[in-house]
Amino acid sequence: MVRPYAVTGGRTEPADGEVLTLLTVLVATGRPLPTDDPARLAPEHHRLLGMCGRQMTLADLAADTALPLGVVRVLVADLTELGAITVVAQRSTDKQTGNVLQEILNGLRAL
Amino acid sequence: MASARSDTHGGAAAVPAFTAHKILVAGGFGAGKTTLVGAISEVRPLQTEEALTTASIGLDDLTGVGRKTTTTVALDFGRITLGARIVLYLFGMPGQERFSFMWDELAYGALGAVILADVRRLGDCFPSVNYFETRRLPFVVAVNCFDDAPSYDPQEIRQALDLDPSNPLVLCDARDVASVKSVLITLVETIASRRSARPGPGRGRTAPPRSPASRLGQ
């Protein structure tokens, strides 16, 4: 059994940057990781980066890796800082419109 | 959309492949939250950790032996893909007041909530009802009809909960996908009618200051 925060080097707060909410969508940028400092990255970093080959929410990443949310938040912030992952901006106005609610209703009825 | 999917390596200007929407499933312990989320989606646990204290770490190694500094809370987490570009996420929200530290982050950005009620322990959902009323987040009370529970007139339950008429109360079977679907449809219809009746969230009635959502899982 490995203590969850061992992979973050004991850090429980992400590095400064964008606030990562449960439904923040993340994606790999394709930018290569720096080769000069590979020891800094844990296998979990690489695993998360691989999962971000397609767009994923922070909550999905935590559930799929079975890592605590706080750990994933720290690791994702590391990868964002390195430019390997970026936040996919959601169009917040789009989320508020009746059209989206109607789409959700149609989708639920079709289930 | 296919074009959005293929653009996932597009760097800073990545096009959203989907929009993510959140619905909370609240209610007391044993009210059927896990069952409900599992009836309509593939439910997975989401591990969160919460620091109980931050002051003593590293200071008190001898006397602090066995001191627990974090508590683990597993939330039910379900994902429903609706069409090509919408994903609906269901988050189980533990309704006991001792979990209230995480309610703000869970509620942040949520469309609305389903509050599951068990008529044998109706009081268990009072904290959730109070919370969503105060936050003016739309909700539906879904009375989970357990086989061995006494049946009550929905109007009586409404009165017992002192529900505002704008919040529907429905009977449901949390095990049954059609029933859960119907609850979610009622909720989204409620959200839609509130938005069309009162454009611009945050207007009208008394709105308490929102505390920033930040604590969960740090």
User: What is the dihedral sign for C-alpha B2, A46, B11, A22?
Assistant: positive
Which residue in B has a C-alpha nearest to residue A21's C-alpha? B105
For residue B36, the enclosing domain spans 18-51+68-197
Residue B157 lies in a domain: yes
With an 8 Å Cβ cutoff, are B46 and A103 in contact? Answer: no
Residue B5 DSSP label: H
- At B10 the pLDDT is 43
What residues make up the domain containing A91?
Answer: 4-109
> What is the per-residue pLDDT for B76?
93
Q: Tell me if B140 is assigned to some domain.
A: yes
The predicted-structure confidence for B61-114, as pLDDT tens digits, reads as follows: 434 445 556 677 889 999 999 988 899 999 999 988 888 888 998 999 999 999
Higher pLDDT, B55 or A67: A67
Q: Dump strand ranges (E) for B3-62.
A: 19-27, 42-51
Q: Do B14 and A27 touch (CB under 8 A)?
A: yes
The domain tally of chain A equals 1
CB distance A21–B192 less than 8 Å?
no
- In a domain, residue B208? The reply is no
Beta-carbon contacts of B46 under 8 Å, excluding residues fewer than 6 positions away, are A59, A62, A63, A69, B74, B75, B76, B77, B91
Sheet of B112-117, strands arranged across? B42-51, B70-82, B86-94, B19-27, B112-117, B139-144, B169-172
CB-based contact, B191 to chain A, within 8 Å: yes
**Residues A73-101, mean pLDDT to the nearest whole number:** 83
B213 lies in a domain? no
How many domains does one find in chain B? 1
Express each pLDDT in B127-172 by its tens digit: 999 999 999 999 999 999 988 777 888 999 999 999 999 999 999 9
Residue B61 maps to a domain: no
CATH number, domain at B166?
A: 3.40.50.300
Enter the pTM of the model: 0.81
Cβ A53–B201 below 8 Å, yes or no?
Answer: no
- Does B209 map to a domain? no
The mean pLDDT of chain B is 80
**Short-list B30, B106, B78, B85, CA closest to B180:** B78
> What pLDDT is stored for residue B68 in this prediction?
55
Is residue B152 domain-resident?
yes
Instruction: Please report residues of B whose CB lies closer than 8 A to that of A68.
Output: 47-49, 72, 217
